């Protein structure tokens, strides 16, 4: 019974991991930008939601604020920070460091504005109900899984059925190709950032009601996204999705065997093992070099 309960918990966690990680993976796969500030996007979306919701403006305006905040941050970051760097140099590490710096700035600014403590959006939806004897599931878990399914479904549709989406996938394989098709790579990069940033919004909002927020949470989000992207295989959106779910499950089911302080280590042991044994990831095509 405990195992079933932990698996359900893991599924809920994994669904949110999958959403955030896919956002990162999409951006990284299509633009090769090591967008470490993806965690900051998460924090911004979550706190915008928290701020507007806390001000009593209602659910929909709060969601809109979170979405707008996330997209604006992602797109502006691409414009103002990544584009200039890529213009003159573009080594992945330079981008990474710049992105890291932005993450630190956002974390502390949010801390100055909203306080550095943990905050939670209180909702009766986080209260679990007993589904079968000994197994409790909260409405939020269903919402999380449903949201993940809807958003990832929409993403797949976007990537496979729309012109821009296909261009995005093409960009991952060959930037030159896109140019010859008469598309502007910078425009497509902006799309990648917008879409990738939108994907964290549901995860950020649900997290604000379940485990709560603090300005430093972006770090954890980022580490998990990175781990899922690599375990899933760089450039493979479905792989990242799968890996996000797996990492969530592993983290939760690990409790059957080890104390909870080892759960993060379990995630990164999996990552470390993948990098050494199978750098291409679960579904990746790309090789390590």
Partner 1 sequence: MEAYIFNLVNLIAIYAILAVTLNFIMGYAGIYSLAHAVFFGLGAYTSAWVAQNVHPSILLTIPAAMMAAAALSLLLALPALRVRGEYFVAASLGLQVLAVTIFSEWKSFTGGIGGVLAIPPANVFGIEVFKPAHFAILSVVALVIVMALINALVHSSFGRNLRAIHDSESAAASFGKNVPMIKTISVVISAALAAVAGALYASYLSFINVESFTLDASVLVMAMVIIGGTGTVAGPIVGAALLMLLPSLISWFDFLPQTEIGALQQIIYGLGMTLLMIFRPGGIVGRRAKA
Partner 2 sequence: MTRHFTLAGAIVSLACLAMPAVAEEHTIGAIFPLSGTNAVYGDVFMSGADLAVEHINADGVLSGPLSIAYEDSQALPQPAVVAMTKLVNVTGVPYTLSAFTGVSKAISTLATRNSVVGVNGGGVGPDLAELGDYFWNVIPLANLEMRAVVPFLVEERGLKSFALVYVDDPLGDAMHEELETILPEVGGELVDSFSVPTTAQQFSGVAAQVRASGADVVYVASYGNQQLQIVKQLRDNGVDAQLVAYSGYAVPDALALPESEGMIITGQGVDFDSEDAVTKRFVEDYTAKFDRAPTAYNVNYYNAVLVYGALAAAIEAEGGEVTGEALLEARRATESFDLVGGTVSFQDNGTLLFPIQVKEIRDGAAHALTSVTFD
Which residues does residue 184 pair with via DSSP β-bridges, in sequence order?
none
Report helix, strand or coil for 236: coil
Contact criterion met (CB below 8 Å) for 201 and 74: no
Binding string, residues 13-32; x marks residues near partner 2 by CB under 8 A = x-------------------
User: Which of the ranges 98-106, 130-138, 170-178, 244-252 carries the binding residues for partner 1, by CB under 8 A?
Assistant: 98-106
Close Cβ partners of 177 (under 8 Å, ≥ 6 residues apart): 170, 171
Residue 224 interacts with partner 1 (CB under 8 A): yes or no: no
Looking at the Cβ atoms of 248 and 281, the one nearer to partner 2 is 248
d(CA 140, CA 217): 19
User: Per the structure block, which two tokens stand in for 231?
Assistant: 């375990």
Looking at the Cβ atoms of 180 and 261, the one nearer to partner 1 is 261
Of 5, 156, 164, 238, the one binding partner 2 (CB under 8 A) is 5
Residue 95 interacts with partner 1 (CB under 8 A): yes or no: yes
Residue 69 interacts with partner 1 (CB under 8 A): yes or no: no
Residue 257 interacts with partner 1 (CB under 8 A): yes or no: no
d(CA 226, CA 36): 9
Of 58, 84, 134, 153, the one binding partner 1 (CB under 8 A) is 84
d(CA 244, CA 20): 9
Contact criterion met (CB below 8 Å) for 13 and 2: no
User: Which of the ranges 86-94, 95-103, 176-184, 258-266 carries the binding residues for partner 2, by CB under 8 A?
Assistant: 258-266
Residue 198 interacts with partner 1 (CB under 8 A): yes or no: no
User: Which of the ranges 49-57, 129-137, 188-196, 279-287 carries the binding residues for partner 2, by CB under 8 A?
Assistant: 129-137
Site for partner 1, residues 203 to 222, rule: CB under 8 A: 219
Cα–Cα distances (Å) from 46 to 117, 209, 210, 221, 244, in that order, read: 14, 10, 12, 12, 20
Binding string, residues 154-173; x marks residues near partner 1 by CB under 8 A = --------------------
- Residue count (the chain): 289
Q: Give the DSSP letter of residue 135.
A: E
Q: How many DSSP H helices and E strands does the chain contain?
A: 12, 2
Residues that bind partner 1 (CB under 8 A): 28, 34, 81, 84-85, 88-89, 91-105, 107-109, 111-112, 116, 219, 223, 226-227, 230, 234, 261-262, 264-265, 267-269, 271-272, 275-276, 279, 288-289
């Amino acid at each position: 019974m405990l195992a079933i309960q932990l698996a359900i918990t893991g599924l809920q966690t994994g669904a949110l991991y999958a959403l955030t990680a896919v956002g990162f993976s999409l951006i990284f796969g299509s633009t090769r930008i090591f967008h470490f500030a993806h965690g900051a996007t998460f924090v911004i979306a979550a706190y915008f939601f928290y701020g507007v919701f806390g001000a009593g403006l209602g659910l929909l305006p709060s969601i809109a604020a979170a979405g707008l905040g996330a997209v604006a941050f992602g797109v502006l970051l691409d414009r103002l920070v990544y584009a200039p760097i890529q213009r003159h140099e573009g080594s992945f590490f330079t981008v990474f460091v710049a992105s890291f710096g932005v993450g630190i700035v956002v974390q502390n600014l949010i801390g100055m504005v909203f306080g550095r403590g943990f905050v939670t959006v209180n909702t009766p939806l986080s209260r679990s109900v007993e589904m079968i004897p000994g197994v409790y599931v909260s409405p939020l878990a269903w919402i999380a899984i449903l949201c993940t399914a809807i958003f990832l479904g929409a993403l797949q549709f976007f990537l496979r059925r729309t012109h821009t989406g296909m261009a995005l996938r093409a960009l991952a394989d060959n930037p030159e190709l896109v140019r010859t098709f008469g598309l502007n790579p910078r425009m497509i990069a902006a799309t990648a950032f917008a879409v990738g940033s939108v994907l964290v919004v549901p995860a950020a909002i649900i997290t604000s009601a379940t485990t709560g927020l603090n300005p430093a949470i972006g770090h954890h989000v980022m580490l998990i996204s990175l781990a899922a992207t690599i375990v899933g295989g760089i450039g493979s959106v479905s792989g990242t999705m799968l890996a996000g779910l797996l990492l969530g499950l592993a983290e939760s089911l690990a409790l059957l065997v080890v104390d909870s302080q080892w759960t993060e280590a379990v995630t990164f042991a999996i990552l470390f093992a993948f990098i050494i044994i199978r750098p291409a990831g679960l579904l990746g095509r790309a090789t390590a070099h």
